[in-house]
């Protein structure tokens, strides 16, 4: 038997010391043994005094003037000092890099929970190894589950794998696992979802419901009622409360309760995280809240004690000394301060669905992070020299013995009590009285109680000061300087796989998402509450929905100092998100042609088919389209129209019904644009068409501005073509300061004069969704007054956009988008009535509404990229001029025909959907009557 000697109540300290010396204990252990002897003697005397009632003070003994409680606390303090001195002796040994194995189960490595474990472990100098399951982990397979690792974390989905693979009874003292097999067995399914120990104790008065354990589908319900008007006393507390319990030992039972809980009160649809003490104090007042908290602790301890005592007989002598487990207890208050246990989960469970899933992530990470800190801080690593040593014997004596396991338990418990955290002692209760006889040795359970009592008294002695300081901290939270301007975590929904994995000191990240990911919600959390986080700009939101366009998007996170009047940016984090294009399957053999008008994810015409439908390419020769608003569809080659994953989306084309749009070759286009002035008025989508025209006419795009005012370009086509642009509407200005549409149009005409009253002057008007029939009437009135009634007017109709729930801008419901479709038809009819040409961009964009590019409105189907271009005299490339099945939307080549020379900065308008309707515009401008 391995034991650390301690004397019984009847042994003298001198005799105990002689016995220790006879057993050849080492110096530090001898010191500990002597301390334990003293402590046992004092504790026994103090315990007997406490039981026998008040003692009369003896003048000759100064120590007897102190109360037994004070005397006990003094001796407990000495014992704790001895424990810490032994810990210092061990900590002086050469440090060894410890290895942690994290079994992720179904978790992705990019999950914030996995990243949290990585961060905490690396900060505590652990070497972290990742695997999915114990069976597939080379680190765990070594020596049948007992290898070089010191910490094993089995995340959700990997627990059963750990229980099957790990031999918990043969783990070494330095090895810690976040599972306790006794608890996993006790709170598992049995007989329709009942707990094992509950079914084995018929007639038990355990404060728990019969469906409390296992994966039962029965959901606990909150009784209705218990709510009273403001100012009227409540008849009782009615609420469902999730509390989080950290069990660090089962024999004897030691457990801690976290301060944060998730409360779902009656008539509330979702849970909210809050401090348990604050919730009870608010609902019950000071006295009854204290009583209720005591009942919460009593109820949980009774259930845990019943769960662990059932399996005591069949458990092996050796056990995992360092195992721990975080449990979720769901408690029901139904009009009384005494709750009932209605569910027990063997992992962390958030109580109820919430509007903001980040509450769950942040609460989970906070509790799990503190769990790791508490356990790892108290994790004493035994070296190979110390482990396995015989520390002396005490058989045949009346001494109380501490085994090596018990000593480690006491040492770690003391460190856990000492470590600052939001965990408070739950079991054993420091108010418990000793059950041992007056003459017998002090049990380990009593030692735990008095160590806990020691730290509890220390806490209570300064409770009022701490409470005042806490109140001041709460009031001053966020008002102090931002000393540590770093993020604790970046929470996203859906989770973004950041590269590299998030670390507070890394400022630049990249992430890739699939085509179907169109939005991401992001909420960065700073390390310090005095720091503020803003997205994109100094006064941007703390949390926001972002639309993720095809290709590259950029999200900026600004950490600012809230103590300043004006936000001062301390740190900038950047996330570059790349969204993949629609997956394509190249066509090498037979295929079918499929077409679609609208996507099934957004039914704008509910009575019409959606998604891919078989399409027959007309065999007879077709004519060129007579207008730019001929209805059509997108066509794409596929192996089967029933599965869009079998299509070659790189070969998608726009096919008008019964005709085709001629793609104008560049020489013909330059000739067509000779001496013409093309004026654009509208928003950024109209500006995208303008820059596409400029690039096609001029062979390249050497000038580009993201302008929100008026621009005039006179250097096109050998200075024989003028292009002008006026941004409308200027929505960022106050309504009384915004130029009206009439004013913006007149300014554009004035800046572009002289103008010819013929089709040599072209006005292109339109945008995403601001255009209506009143604007068309204004165009007619202004042109008549300016003697320009014979110029060519092209109306760019409405387009898809604002269909995603993005914070900070308006978003349209499905019904509103359907109304927009009808408004678009009215605009087209009105434009035709005035004799204007129409490019129906709504019909073209509605089937590909997911293929927007970057921008918060999700309405941009173009973007301008810049690059350094090497000029070459022989580079001549023309856009697709095919007149086959349709107008291709995948030609992103740049027209080049430039003089030889050095590199030059140029721009390129990319975007296949924008290219289609821009080519239709050019076709209509250059059509022969």
* pLDDT (0 to 100) of residue 432: 62
DSSP 546-591: EE--SEEEEEEEEEEETTSSS-EEEEEEEEEEEEPPPP-----S--
C-alpha–C-alpha distance, residues 47 and 400, integer Å: 16
The mean pLDDT value for 564-586 works out to 89
Q: Is 616 exposed, middle or buried (0-12, 13-18, 19+ CB in 10 A)?
A: exposed
66 — pLDDT class (breaks 50, 70, 90): low
Q: What is the CATH number of domain 487-579?
A: 2.60.40
The mean pLDDT value for 199-206 works out to 60
* pLDDT (0 to 100) of residue 235: 54
Selection from 805, 857, 853 nearest residue 544 by Cα: 805
Strand, helix or coil for residue 694: helix
The DSSP H or E segment spanning 343 is: strand 340-345
Ramachandran category for residue 763: left, alpha or beta (phi over 0 → left; psi -120 to 50 → alpha)? beta
* pLDDT (0 to 100) of residue 179: 93
Q: Could you say which DSSP state residue 853 is in?
A: -
C-alpha–C-alpha distance, residues 456 and 248, integer Å: 18
Radius of gyration of the chain (CA): 38
pTM of this structure? 0.72
The DSSP H or E segment spanning 296 is: helix 286-309
Fold of 666-869+907-926: Rossmann fold (3.40.50)
* pLDDT (0 to 100) of residue 7: 33
* pLDDT (0 to 100) of residue 398: 35
The answer to whether residue 746 scores a pLDDT higher than 90 is yes
Report, at the CATH architecture level, how domain 181-216+236-311+318-377 is classified: 2-Layer Sandwich (3.30)
The answer to whether residue 797 scores a pLDDT higher than 90 is yes
For the chain, what are the domain ranges? 69-179, 181-216+236-311+318-377, 487-579, 666-869+907-926
* pLDDT (0 to 100) of residue 478: 46
* pLDDT (0 to 100) of residue 156: 86
Least-confidence region, from 532-541, 683-692, 719-728: 532-541
Strand, helix or coil for residue 877: coil
Q: Could you say which DSSP state residue 847 is in?
A: G
* pLDDT (0 to 100) of residue 247: 95
How many Cα neighbours within 13 Å face the side chain of 143? 8
Name 331's bridge partners.
241, 341
DSSP 740-803: PHHHHHHHHHHHH-S--SSTTEEEEEE-SS---HHHHHHHHHHHHHTT-TTSEEEEE-----S-
* pLDDT (0 to 100) of residue 195: 62
Cα torsion for 537, 540, 542, 543, to the nearest 10°? -100
DSSP 399-463: PPPB-HHHHHHHHHHHHHHHS-SSEEEEES-TTPPP-S-SSSPPPHHHHHHHHHHHHHHHHHHTH
C-alpha–C-alpha distance, residues 265 and 223, integer Å: 10
Name 712's bridge partners.
724
215 — pLDDT class (breaks 50, 70, 90): low
* pLDDT (0 to 100) of residue 88: 58
Order the strands of the 508-513 sheet from edge to edge. Answer: 508-513, 568-579, 551-561, 531-535
60 — pLDDT class (breaks 50, 70, 90): very low
Phi first, then psi: what are they for 410, rounded to 5°? -65, -45
Least-confidence region, from 96-100, 326-330, 555-559: 96-100
Residue 921 CA to its chain's centroid (Å):
44
Residues 6+ apart with CB under 8 A from 785: none
Q: Where do the H-state alpha helices sit in 101-158? A: 112-123, 138-141
Residues 6+ apart with CB under 8 A from 88: none
C-alpha–C-alpha distance, residues 644 and 585, integer Å: 9
Q: How many residues does the chain have?
A: 929
Q: Where are the beta strands (DSSP E) in 20-73?
A: none
* pLDDT (0 to 100) of residue 309: 77
pLDDT, tens digit (0-9, with 9 covering 90-100), for 269-296: 677 888 999 999 988 888 899 999 999 9
3-state percent helix, strand, coil for the chain, nearest multiple of 5 = 35, 20, 45
C-alpha distances (whole Å) from 736 to each of 682, 732, 733, 774 are 19, 11, 8, 19
pLDDT, tens digit (0-9, with 9 covering 90-100), for 413-471: 888 888 888 899 998 887 765 444 445 667 788 888 888 888 877 766 554 444 444 44
* pLDDT (0 to 100) of residue 691: 93
Cα torsion for 124, 127, 129, 134, to the nearest 10°? -80
- End-to-end C-alpha distance for the chain, whole angstroms: 107
C-alpha distances (whole Å) from 468 to each of 18, 259, 471, 627, 882 are 51, 18, 5, 77, 79
819: number of Cβ within 10 Å:
13
Phi first, then psi: what are they for 657, rounded to 5°? -75, 115
Q: Where do the H-state alpha helices sit in 655-699? A: 666-672, 684-698
| Three-state secondary structure string covering 184-206 | HHHCCCCCCCCCHHHHCCCCCCC
Least-confidence region, from 76-80, 147-151, 610-614, 871-875: 871-875
Work out the widest C-alpha separation in the chain, in whole angstroms.
125
Which of 69-78, 92-101, 507-516 ranks highest by mean pLDDT?
507-516
């Amino acid at each position: 038997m391995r034991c650390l000697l301690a004397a019984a109540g009847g042994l003298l300290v001198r005799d105990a010391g002689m016995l220790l010396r006879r057993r050849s204990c080492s110096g530090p252990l001898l010191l500990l043994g002597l301390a334990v002897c003293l402590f046992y003697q004092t504790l026994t005397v103090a315990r007997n005094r406490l039981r026998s009632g008040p003692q009369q003070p003896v003048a000759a003994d100064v120590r007897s003037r102190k109360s037994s409680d004070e005397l006990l606390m003094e001796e407990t303090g000495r014992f704790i000092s001895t424990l810490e001195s032994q810990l210092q002796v061990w900590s002086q040994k050469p440090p060894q890099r410890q290895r942690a194995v994290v079994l992720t189960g179904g978790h992705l490595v990019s999950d914030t929970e996995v990243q949290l474990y990585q961060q905490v472990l690396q900060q505590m100098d652990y070497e972290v190894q990742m695997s999915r399951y114990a069976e597939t982990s080379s680190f765990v397979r070594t020596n049948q589950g007992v290898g070089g690792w010191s910490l094993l974390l089995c995340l959700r989905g990997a627990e059963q794998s750990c229980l099957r693979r790990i031999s918990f009874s043969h783990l070494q003292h330095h090895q810690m696992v976040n599972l306790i097999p006794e608890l996993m067995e006790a709170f598992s399914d049995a007989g329709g979802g009942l707990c094992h120990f509950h079914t084995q104790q018929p007639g038990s008065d355990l404060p728990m419901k019969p469906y409390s354990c296992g994966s039962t589908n029965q959901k606990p319900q909150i009784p209705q009622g218990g709510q009273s008007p403001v100012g009227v006393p409540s008849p009782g507390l009615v609420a469902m409360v999730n509390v989080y319990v950290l069990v660090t030992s089962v024999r004897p039972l030691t457990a801690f309760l976290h301060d944060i809980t998730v409360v779902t009160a009656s008539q509330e649809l979702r849970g909210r995280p809050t401090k348990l003490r604050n919730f009870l104090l608010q609902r019950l007042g000071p006295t009854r809240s204290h009583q209720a908290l005591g009942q919460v602790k009593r109820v949980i301890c009774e259930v845990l004690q019943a769960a662990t005592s059932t399996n005591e007989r069949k458990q092996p002598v050796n056990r995992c000394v360092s195992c721990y487990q975080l449990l979720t207890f769901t408690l029901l208050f139904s009009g009384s301060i005494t709750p009932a246990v209605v569910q027990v989960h063997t992992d962390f469970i958030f109580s109820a669905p919430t509007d903001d899933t980040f509450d769950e992530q942040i609460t989970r990470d906070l509790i799990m992070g503190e769990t790791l800190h508490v356990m790892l801080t108290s994790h004493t690593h035994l070296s190979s020299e110390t482990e396995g040593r015989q520390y002396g014997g005490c058989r045949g004596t009346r001494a109380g013995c501490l085994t090596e396991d018990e000593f480690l338990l006491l040492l770690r418990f003391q460190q856990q009590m000492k470590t600052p955290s939001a965990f408070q002692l739950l079991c054993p209760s420091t108010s418990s009285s000793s059950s041992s006889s007056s003459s017998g040795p002090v049990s380990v359970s009593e030692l735990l109680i008095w160590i806990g009592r020691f730290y509890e008294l220390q806490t209570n002695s300064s409770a009022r000061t701490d409470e005042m300081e806490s109140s001041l901290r709460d009031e001053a939270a966020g008002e102090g300087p931002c000393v540590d301007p770093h993020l604790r975590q970046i929470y996203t929904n859906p989770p973004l796989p950041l590269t590299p994995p998030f670390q507070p000191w890394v400022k630049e990240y990249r992430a890739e998402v699939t085509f179907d990911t169109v939005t991401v919600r992001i909420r960065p959390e700073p390390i310090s509450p005095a720091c503020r986080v803003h997205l994109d700009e100094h006064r941007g939101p703390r949390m926001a929905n972002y639309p993720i366009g095809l290709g590259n998007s950029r999200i900026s996170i600004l950490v600012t100092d809230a103590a300043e009047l004006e936000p001062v940016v301390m740190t900038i984090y950047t996330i570059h998100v790349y969204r993949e294009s629609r997956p394509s399957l190249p066509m090498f053999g037979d295929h079918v042609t499929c077409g679609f008008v609208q996507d099934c994810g957004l039914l704008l015409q509910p009575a019409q088919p959606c998604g891919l439908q078989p399409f027959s390419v007309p065999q007879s020769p077709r004519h060129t389209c007579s207008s730019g608003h001929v209805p059509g569809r997108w066509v794409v080659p596929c192996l089967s129209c029933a599965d869009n994953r079998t299509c070659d989306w790189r070969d998608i084309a726009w096919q008008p019904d019964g005709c085709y749009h001629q793609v104008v070759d560049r020489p013909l286009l330059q000739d067509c644009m000779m001496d013409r002035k093309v004026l654009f008025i509208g928003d950024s989508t109209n500006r995208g068409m303008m820059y596409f025209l400029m690039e096609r006419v001029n062979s390249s795009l050497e000038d580009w501005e993201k302008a929100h005012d008026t621009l005039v370009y006179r250097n096109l086509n050998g200075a024989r073509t003028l292009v002008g642009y006026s941004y409308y509407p200027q929505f960022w200005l106050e309504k009384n300061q915004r130029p009206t549409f009439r004013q913006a149009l007149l300014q554009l005409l004035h800046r572009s004069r002289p103008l010819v009253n013929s089709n040599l002057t072209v006005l292109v008007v339109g945008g995403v969704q601001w255009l209506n029939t009143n604007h068309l009437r204004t165009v007619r009135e202004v042109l008549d007054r300016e003697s320009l009634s014979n110029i060519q007017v092209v109306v760019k109709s409405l387009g898809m956009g604002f269909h995603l729930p993005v914070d900070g801008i308006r978003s349209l419901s499905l019904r509103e988008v359907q109304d927009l479709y009808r408004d678009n038809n009215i605009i087209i009819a009105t434009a035709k009535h005035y004799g204007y040409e129409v490019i129906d961009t709504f019909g073209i964009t509605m089937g590909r509404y997911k293929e927007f590019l970057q921008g918060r409105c999700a309405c941009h189907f173009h973007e301008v990229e810049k690059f350094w271009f090497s000029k070459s005299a022989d580079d001549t490339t023309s856009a697709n001029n095919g007149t086959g099945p349709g107008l291709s939307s995948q030609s992103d080549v740049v027209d080049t025909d430039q003089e030889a020379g050095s590199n030059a900065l140029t721009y390129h308008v990319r975007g296949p959907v924008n290219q289609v309707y821009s080519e239709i515009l050019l076709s209509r401008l250059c059509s022969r009557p």
